[in-house]
Chain A
Amino acid sequence: GQSLEQPSEVTAVEGAIVQINCTYQTSGFYGLSWYQQHDGGAPTFLSYNALDGLEETGRFSSFLSRSDSYGYLLLQELQMKDSASYFCAVRNNAGKSTFGDGTTLTVKP
């Protein structure tokens, strides 16, 4: 089966940089994605990596190392509105998706 591990909580101050790590186990790896969710609302897509390296989208970047089965989400210039839960998710080549349990990010003034 597929499984992922990510920290349960992270706290940072406004304007800082925070990194949320994710390690995964899967067979037939297809891609690793990141989603943001505010207070039980609909998750929204942030970033995706299928190949090794860094993908940058504005203040958010995501990194993947397939050999290490590891990725991270980097959030820069943190804002209060970034306080939310962040999920990594792995997809295999059969279309099956598995999400991590989420990391709750708290941004303090």
Chain B
Amino acid sequence: EAQVTQNPRYLITVTGKKLTVTCSQNMNHEYMSWYRQDPGLGLRQIYYSMNVEVTDKGDVPEGYKVSRKEKRNFPLILESPSPNQTSLYFCASRPGESPYEQYFGPGTRLTVT
């Protein structure tokens, strides 16, 4: 089944404890992206990657890191999480030639205390 998977789905952690949210897609998509969504707001893009070893900042990259060593994986790293990073996170992917259709993962709900 074609899909985008994220792990973990739920995470409660403490301020300053490094964490990684994994994202993997099995559709051979070139483009991958991370978003965060806060109550009443749309999805805000954190980072995106047009292909392996190519990453770019979105609208809200501060406090986050990403890497794209393989086509299928695009992990999101929070080196020192803070409470303002409590949010719902979505990973998405699309084929490079697709006009715009993005396939979203199920989301990761992160709480930083």
Binding site for B on A (CB under 8 A): 1-2, 4, 30-31, 33, 35, 40-45, 48, 50, 87, 89, 91, 94-102
Whether B104 pairs with A42 at a CB distance below 8 angstroms is: yes
For A4, the chain B residues whose CB sits under 8 A away are 42
Whether B58 pairs with A96 at a CB distance below 8 angstroms is: yes
B10 to chain A, nearest CB (A): 12
Whether B107 pairs with A102 at a CB distance below 8 angstroms is: no
Whether B101 pairs with A98 at a CB distance below 8 angstroms is: no
Check A99/B42 contact, CB under 8 A, given A1-B59, A40-B88: yes
Count of chain A to chain B residue pairs whose CB atoms are closer than 8 Å in the complex? 70
Q: List 12 A-B contacts (CB under 8 A).
A: A1-B59, A33-B101, A40-B107, A41-B106, A42-B90, A42-B106, A43-B102, A96-B56, A97-B33, A97-B48, A97-B58, A100-B42
Provide the bound-state CA to CA distance between A45 and B59, in Å. Answer: 21
Among candidates B35, B42, B104, residue contacting A44 with C-beta atoms closer than 8 Å = B104
Whether A43 pairs with B101 at a CB distance below 8 angstroms is: no
For A41, the chain B residues whose CB sits under 8 A away are 106-107
Check A42/B99 contact, CB under 8 A, given A96-B45, A100-B42: no
Whether A42 pairs with B107 at a CB distance below 8 angstroms is: yes
Report which residue of B31, B42, B99 has the largest number of chain A beta carbons within 10 angstroms of its beta carbon. Answer: B42
A107 to chain B, nearest CB (A): 20
Whether A45 pairs with B58 at a CB distance below 8 angstroms is: no
Tell me the residues in window 61-113 of chain B with beta carbons closer than 8 Å to chain A beta carbons.
Answer: 88, 90, 99-107
Q: Does B27 contact A (CB under 8 A)?
A: no
| Beyond known contacts A33-B101, A41-B106, A94-B56: 11 more, CB 8 A cutoff | A40-B37, A42-B105, A43-B90, A48-B101, A87-B43, A89-B100, A96-B58, A99-B43, A99-B44, A101-B41, A102-B40
